[in-house]
Amino acid sequence: MRDKVSRNEESIMRVVRVPEFGAPDVMRVDEAERPEPKPGQVLVEVELAAVLFADTLARRGALPWPLPYVPGMEVGGVADGRRVVARTAGLQGGYAEFALAEEVYAVPDGMPMADALALFGGGDMAIGLLDAMRVDETDTVLITAAAGRIGSMLVQLAKARGARVIAVTSHSEVPDSVAYDGDWGEPTVVLDSVGGEVAEKAMAVAKDRVGLYGFASGSWPKLDADLIARKGLTVVGASAVVRRRTPEKQRADAEQALNSRLQAKIHAVHPLAEAAKAHREIEERRNVGAVLLRVR
């Protein structure tokens, strides 16, 4: 990636741009005009940008993003003199020195920005997923990709609700984890973000409820109607349920995550110029926790 850009005008900022869909190396460091907030928007001076699996989908062309564009759905930085985390306006523009947001959340005093950014996005999604699947102390919950940003928080939150957790991951250093080719037991609830054959195996062992919230493998699972009917499974598009939360509920969940006892897991913080490396880590599922870009 190119990182040699001119800095002649104060209104010019450094960004990572996607000029065409493709592999991680299509991204390049470029210049752009500093955005001007519209009514209802806030300008965030970005310190860190989160690298999400959804960012990699958009870069590959799996999401309807117009080209060219600046990736980045979640950022942490300073707005109006306050340390904040935020989702970016239009869910893009975060891999930049300044980004627009429509709603910001104050970072608790003393909390590192990296922790706040990991907890804000991953934590509120995890809370929403567990609510959508009605997880309580009577459940055994199987969580795939349990080493990832959201997966690691699902593990913590499910345990906090009193549920037994089966954490499926390829990372042996994750405590009490089960390998993808191991024995997954008989969970009452499955939360899957891998899709494909992994999700199909999870559905085969599930006893009651299956929540699908991602397809890191590149495809959703093939649904076996006979299996679902025979076992009496409820299969839920859990991420879509979470996205339908009211703005008030979404804000409450994000603030709960930021002010909870959740432990943020940070896999790596890369410089902005290494966005391609960060995307590869996410796509190859090499991360244990959140992957972030340091903008300044």
How many residues are given for the chain?
Answer: 296
Mean pLDDT computed over 187-216: 96
Residue 153: both structure tokens together: 């928080």
Is the pLDDT confidence value at 141 over 60?
yes
pLDDT at 3: 47
Are the C-beta atoms of 166 and 192 separated by less than 8 Å?
A: no
Q: Please count the other Cβ atoms lying within 10 Å of the Cβ belonging to residue 90.
A: 11
Domains in the chain and their CATH numbers? 12-106+265-294 (3.90.180.10), 122-243 (3.40.50.720)
Residue 201: both structure tokens together: 């195996």
- Mean pLDDT, the chain, integer: 93
Beta bridge partners, 86, equal 75, 104
pLDDT at 132: 96
Residue 193: both structure tokens together: 């973000």
Residues 6+ apart with CB under 8 A from 243: none
Higher pLDDT, 7 or 39: 39
Is the pLDDT confidence value at 136 over 90?
yes
Mean pLDDT computed over 171-195: 89
Are the C-beta atoms of 48 and 79 separated by less than 8 Å?
A: no
Residue 266: both structure tokens together: 């940070």
Percent of the chain whose pLDDT exceeds 90: 83
Is the pLDDT confidence value at 7 over 70?
no
Q: What is the DSSP string of 106-143?
A: EPPTT--HHHHHHHHHHHHHHHHHHHHTT--TT-EEEE
Residues 6+ apart with CB under 8 A from 175: none
Which of 126, 118, 116, 128 is CA-nearest to residue 249? 128
Q: What span, in angstroms and rounded, lies between the C-alpha atoms of 220 and 232?
A: 20
Is the pLDDT confidence value at 6 over 90?
no
User: Please, which pLDDT band fits residue 67 given cuts at 50, 70 and 90?
Assistant: very high
pLDDT at 94: 98
